[in-house]
Amino acid sequence: MSELAERRKRGRPRKEARSGASARAAILKAAAEEFAERGYEAASLRAIARRAGVDSALVHHYFDDKADLFTASLEAPLRPDRALEVILAGPHDEIGVSIVRFLLEQLENPKAQARMVAILRTALSSGPGSRMLREFLTREVFLRLATAAGGDDDARLRANLAAAQLVGVMITRFVLKLEPIATAPAEDLARRVGPVIQWHLFGDPSQPLA
């Protein structure tokens, strides 16, 4: 093989990598636009592929599912839906503590904190970003919590109350930075707030929190 041919052969993977990176970037851009316009529920991977000008199979090549693509387009510092699967598979009586501990420990990184603050601000706004975040959290997180909480009539209410408690802790700690919550050890907050989450999800509303 000639030296020129060898150089061309060695150069192919880098060319393909650039092409792949470009396709992935186009998919992420299209996803961000589609989610913003249509919300999380109505947006489809097929529509995102059309907007990006790629085959829908390529979307599945880069992203596992719609939730994976959504969090990637949002540059979310964590995947609450995947973490929930692991936490719910753990000890039942530790679910509340585990959820709080996971969130706070994952957000100890300054970059992760900064991104989460931006996402929380979007969620608190009245623009299209708040709608897509609300729909994502409802479908991928809150409804899973409601399933874990049981099939009774107020399971969804209890799941949303638990979620409201978690969002309140994050806003207080990372957005408002109110002391002493802002600098309290994550484990300390988990042990204090976790039982409240546990009670909302699995406790008897007619009985006081133990």
Mean of the pLDDT values across residues 197-201? 90
For residue 192, the tally of other CB atoms under 10 A from its CB is 14
Q: Where are the domains of the chain?
A: 3-72, 75-202
Give me the pLDDT at residue 19, please.
57
The CA distances from residue 36 to 131, 169, 181, in Å, are 8, 26, 33
Q: Note whether 3-72 and 75-202 share their fold.
A: no
Give me the pLDDT at residue 157, please.
86
Give me the pLDDT at residue 133, please.
86
Segment 18-57, tens digit of pLDDT: 356 799 999 999 999 999 899 999 999 999 999 999 999 9
Q: Under CATH, what is the fold of the domain 75-202?
A: Tetracycline Repressor; domain 2 (1.10.357)
Segment 61-102, tens digit of pLDDT: 999 999 999 999 989 888 888 888 888 888 889 999 999 999
pLDDT higher than threshold 60 for residue 199 = yes
Segment 129-159, tens digit of pLDDT: 788 888 888 888 888 887 877 766 788 888 8
**Spelled out in words, what is the top-level CATH class assigned to the domain 3-72?**
mainly alpha
For residue 6, the tally of other CB atoms under 10 A from its CB is 10
User: How much is the pTM?
Assistant: 0.75
